[in-house]
């Protein structure tokens, strides 16, 4: 009994000092006070090999580790390219068929030659693949079975070192792209442009198959691509068929990140592959960070690369101007599968930034009567920032232009599509299903891309009027008039006397999509058109789209690079899906010779007024033909705490982590303010327990005294 009382008192004595601390912090106080960014991921990355990966959740890691030749300036808008590992922007020469230099605008241009001059101060992260013995042989290139038994991770290797970036590393990366067995998603596109890549790919794919069957390592240094030339340690020349100015944008992507041959051969060892120690799992880069921990079922960790080259913050009038990057020492990504726990931890200050889920939207954001978004009072009290930007993306409802009812280029078929385009109220869709996180599209080109125009100049006059300085959707009465002129007054065919029935194909089969499908039916019903939903699994849906077996379907496109060609090629006739065995990206199968002719002229032009004039003509043609209901450009919204600095949205760049900063002292201060433990109930419980113990002890003593009294006969 005495021991119980002592324990209760001990509990109370410990309780009071903790009253000023934080009990619920998932991180240690030491880690919270360090220069560490705490963030999360919900979808585990599966491919960290830059030649293979094409997913945003994977590029969030890859972009910090690898460095392609070019990058986007973090601050400048419109988006501007700048050298990353190069001494200057690539120099370009235009060549005729004899490879003699000609003027850029000369009709004899057959090739474009890109010359890349590398910086000499760039080094890789420390890695065992680079370690050599006294005889200058790679130490870990041929591991014995005995050595492999002791290895479970890269940390088990006794030695690590680095080396400088070389031009051959970029050439080696392009060679890896050409190996079909590596499944690079851009190989088919790039072999159209890079001279000799297709021939190389055909040959090396056979070699790779033979090497694998014989259990041999494939060393790509022994093979060359005719259009990729290494001129010394720091000079690389890439030859392109014709003119393709968008190639510079591709040089910002991770597909063109350097791969050291030592790492490729190191990771091809069977013993390491069997332990899942591969380039797909453990990247080797020159970037600001390296992957220190890869546990996708729990936590991923990036740590500052001590070998990172000199790079400074790109603003001249900023407190961090000319300061060396990166600012953050470590980044901890924790797996969070559910949005509510993630949101609660963000509000408690244990995550430094957060997206806004549908469940948390009303708590985080207030929308005024004019539609303006702002932070709720709760968020303002916590000094949280709302960061928003319109994404360079377009989501649309497509008409299959080879369909006999909704397709075609007659005046009646155009008016049918135009009527539907007016009736489908995108503003209502954005309000109901997107919490106002989007803007109605006026064309295929989103904001931030050359060719997009604000206001009246950029209005789709087929669907909108310009009234009092804003876009106003044309009336339903006007849409019904167009429908009647198309041969379907009140939705009834003048040819058959039957109601018009259209089919909408979708892979959205879950219960959450029922409301959306009902909304679509309602939109068509306003015109008297019956909409039949044909839901199927995603693979079947894709197959139907590729083969042109649809009438209506929803689709979308995220920019690969900030150029109008990257959006307008979705409507280019030569890219029609039905004419390319499903490989074409023109899923609506739109073909207009006038549009196509303008596209072919526009696609290789620089951003000049002449290019803008051509784009205006193309948009006018496509708006009148209406192969799409032009749809929506989504808005990205994110929240960040006051201690998370230099957070600027950039939809094209993937390597922005190095620019950001953490004020750990402010974070600790706010965590303590927001997470003070409520100890009063615990104190009351402790006192009640103590009172109960005393009561029980008293009852026990009284009972014992009576027993003794009765035994002694003294009662």
Does the structure show a pLDDT above 90 at 686? no
Question: What's the chain's average pLDDT?
Answer: 92
CATH of domain 42-285: 3.90.76.10
pLDDT over threshold 60, residue 1? no
pLDDT digits (tens, 9 = 90+) for 211-239: 999 999 999 999 999 999 999 999 999 99
pLDDT at 17 over 50: no
What confidence score (pLDDT) does residue 89 get?
Answer: 98
Determine the distance from the C-alpha atom of residue 9 to the mean position of all C-alpha atoms in its chain, rounded to a whole number. 55
pLDDT of residue 634: 95
Go through the chain and tell me how many residues it has: 715
Chain centroid offset of residue 557 CA: 12
Domain ranges of the chain: 2-21+678-712, 42-285, 393-636
**Phi and psi angles of residue 535, each rounded to the nearest 5 degrees, phi first:** -90, 140
Q: Using omega within 30 degrees of 0 as the cis cutoff, is the peptide bond preceding 270 cis? A: no
Between CA 267 and CA 283 the distance in angstroms is: 10
pLDDT tens digits, one per residue of 557-600 = 999 999 999 999 999 999 999 988 877 899 999 999 999 999 99
DSSP-derived secondary structure letter, 129: G
Q: What is the mean pLDDT of residues 34-41?
A: 96
| pLDDT in the model for residue 133 | 94
Q: What pLDDT is stored for residue 508 in this prediction?
A: 80
Q: Which residue has the higher pLDDT, 24 or 113?
A: 113
Residues 545, 536: Cα–Cα separation, whole Å:
12
The answer to whether the CB of 210 falls within 8 A of the CB of 217 is no
The confidence band for 316, taking pLDDT boundaries of 50, 70 and 90, is confident
Residue among 304, 328, 324, 305 at smallest CA distance from 314: 324
Nearest to 387 by CA among 634, 636, 558, 632: 636
The whole-number pLDDT of residue 346 equals 96
The rounded distance, in Å, linking the Cα atoms of 31 and 11 is: 27
Using N-to-C axis directions, what is the helix angle for 197-213 and 167-178, rounded to 10°?
80
Given a contact cutoff of 8 angstroms between Cβ atoms, the answer to whether 61 and 243 are in contact is: no
Distance (Å, whole) CA 9 – CA 4: 9
Q: Locate tokens 């596209």: which residue? A: 599
* Rounded Cα–Cα distance for residues 29 and 672 (Å): 10
pLDDT value at position 4?
52
Interval 386-413: pLDDT, tens: 998 899 999 999 999 999 999 999 999 9
Q: How far apart are CA 615 and CA 456, in angstroms?
A: 16
Backbone phi, then psi, for 332, in 5-degree steps? -110, 115
pLDDT tier for residue 19 given thresholds of 50, 70 and 90: very low
The DSSP-derived string for 490-517 is GGB-TTT-SB-EEEEEES--SGGGHHHH
pLDDT, residue 18, reads 46
Is domain 393-636 in CATH 3.10.105.10, yes or no?
Answer: yes
Exposed, middle or buried, 582 (CB in 10 Å: 0-12/13-18/19+)? middle
Per-residue pLDDT at 11 exceeds 80: no
Confidence band of 714 (pLDDT split at 50, 70, 90):
low
Quote the pTM value: 0.87
Per-residue pLDDT band for 529 (boundaries 50, 70, 90) equals very high
pLDDT at residue 707 is higher than 80 = no
pLDDT in tens, 131-141: 999 999 999 99
pLDDT digits (tens, 9 = 90+) for 240-285: 999 999 999 999 999 999 999 999 999 999 999 999 999 999 999 9
Distance CA 531, CA 443 (A): 24
Nearest to 618 by CA among 571, 579, 658, 654: 571
DSSP summary character for residue 313: B
Short-list 678, 685, 643, 665, CA closest to 21: 678
- Of 549, 526, 293, 528, nearest to 403 by C-alpha is 549
**DSSP 3-state assignment of 41?**
strand
**In the predicted structure, residue 20 carries a pLDDT above the cut 70:** no
The pairing of strands 36-41 and 330-335 is parallel
- Model confidence over 455-479: pLDDT tens digits? 999 999 999 999 999 999 999 999 9
- Tell me what percent of the residues of the chain surpass a pLDDT of 70: 95
Joined together, the tokens standing for residue 280 give 């797909």
Give the per-residue SS3 of 550-573.
CCEEEEEEECCCCCCHHHHHHHCH
Convert 540-552 to b/e letters by CB count within 10 Å (16 or more is b).
ebeebbbebebbb
Topology alike, domains 42-285 and 393-636: no
Banded pLDDT at 708 (limits 50, 70, 90):
confident
């Amino acid at each position: 009994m005495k021991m119980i009382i002592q324990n209760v008192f001990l509990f109370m004595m410990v309780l009071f000092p903790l009253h000023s601390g934080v009990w619920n912090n998932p991180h240690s106080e030491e880690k919270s006070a360090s220069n560490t960014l705490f963030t999360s991921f919900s979808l585990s990355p599966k491919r960290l090999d830059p030649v293979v990966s094409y997913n945003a959740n994977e590029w969030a890691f890859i972009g910090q580790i690898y460095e392609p030749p070019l990058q986007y300036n973090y601050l400048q808008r419109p988006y501007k390219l700048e050298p990353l590992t190069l001494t200057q922007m690539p120099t370009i020469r235009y060549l005729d068929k004899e490879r003699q230099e000609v003027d850029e605008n000369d009709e004899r241009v057959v090739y474009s030659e890109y010359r890349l001059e590398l910086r000499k101060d760039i080094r890789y992260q420390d890695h065992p693949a680079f370690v050599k013995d006294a005889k200058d042989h790679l130490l870990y290139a041929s591991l014995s079975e005995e050595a492999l038994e002791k290895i479970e991770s890269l940390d088990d290797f006794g030695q690590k070192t680095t080396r400088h970036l070389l031009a051959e590393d970029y050439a080696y990366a392009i060679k890896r792209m050409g190996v079909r067995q590596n499944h690079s998603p851009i190989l088919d596109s790039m072999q159209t442009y890079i001279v000799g890549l297709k021939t190389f790919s055909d040959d090396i794919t056979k070699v790779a198959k033979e090497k694998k069957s014989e259990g041999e390592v494939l060393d790509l240094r022994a093979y060359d691509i005719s259009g990729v030339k290494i001129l010394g340690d720091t000079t690389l020349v890439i030859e392109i068929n014709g003119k393709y100015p968008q190639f510079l944008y591709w040089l910002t992507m991770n597909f063109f990140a350097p791969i050291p041959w030592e790492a490729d051969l190191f990771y091809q060892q069977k013993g390491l592959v069997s332990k899942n120690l591969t380039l797909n799992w453990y990247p080797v880069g020159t970037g600001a960070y390296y992957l220190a921990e890869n546990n996708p079922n729990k936590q991923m960790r990036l740590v500052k690369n001590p070998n990172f080259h000199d790079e400074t913050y790109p603003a001249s009038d900023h407190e961090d101007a000319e300061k060396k990057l990166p600012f953050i020492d470590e980044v901890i990504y924790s797996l969070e599968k559910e949005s509510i726990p993630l949101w609660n931890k963000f509000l408690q200050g244990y995550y430094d930034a957060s997206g806004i889920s549908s469940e948390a939207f009303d708590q985080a954001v207030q929308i005024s009567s004019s539609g303006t978004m702002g932070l709720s009072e709760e968020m303002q009290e916590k000094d949280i920032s709302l960061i928003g930007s319109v994404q360079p993306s377009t989501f649309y409802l497509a008409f299959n232009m080879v369909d006999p009812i909704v397709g075609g280029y007659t005046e009646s078929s155009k008016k049918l599509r135009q009527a539907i385009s007016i009736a489908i109220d995108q503003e209502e869709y954005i309000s109901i299903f997107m919490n106002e996180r989007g803007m109605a599209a006026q064309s295929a080109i989103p904001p931030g891309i050359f060719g997009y125009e604000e206001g009246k100049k950029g209005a789709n006059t087929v669907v909108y009027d310009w009234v009092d300085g804003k876009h106003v959707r044309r009336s339903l009465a006007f849409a019904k008039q167009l429908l009647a002129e198309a041969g379907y007054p009140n939705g009834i065919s003048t040819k058959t006397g039957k109601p018009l029935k259209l089919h909408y194909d979708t892979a959205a089969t879950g219960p959450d999509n029922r409301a959306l499908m009902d909304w679509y039916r309602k939109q068509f019903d306003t015109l008297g058109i019956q909409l039949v939903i044909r839901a199927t699994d995603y693979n079947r849906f894709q197959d139907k789209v590729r083969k042109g077996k649809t009438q209506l379907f929803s689709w979308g496109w995220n920019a690969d690079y900030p150029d109008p060609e990257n959006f307008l090629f979705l409507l280019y006739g030569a890219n029609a899906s039905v004419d390319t065995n499903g490989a074409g990206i023109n899923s609506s199968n739109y073909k207009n010779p006038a549009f196509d002719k303008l596209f072919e002229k526009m696609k290789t032009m620089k951003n000049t007024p002449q290019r803008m004039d051509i784009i205006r003509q193309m948009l006018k043609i496509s708006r009148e033909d209406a192969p799409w209901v032009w749809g929506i450009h989504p808005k990205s919204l994110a929240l960040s705490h006051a201690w998370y600095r230099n957070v600027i949205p950039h939809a094209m760049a993937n390597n922005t982590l190095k620019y950001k900063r953490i004020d750990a002292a402010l974070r600790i201060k706010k965590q303590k303010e927001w997470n003070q433990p409520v100890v009063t109930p615990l104190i009351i419980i402790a006192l009640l327990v103590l009172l109960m113990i005393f009561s029980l002890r008293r009852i026990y003593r009284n009972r014992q005294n009576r027993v003794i009294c009765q035994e002694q006969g003294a009662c």
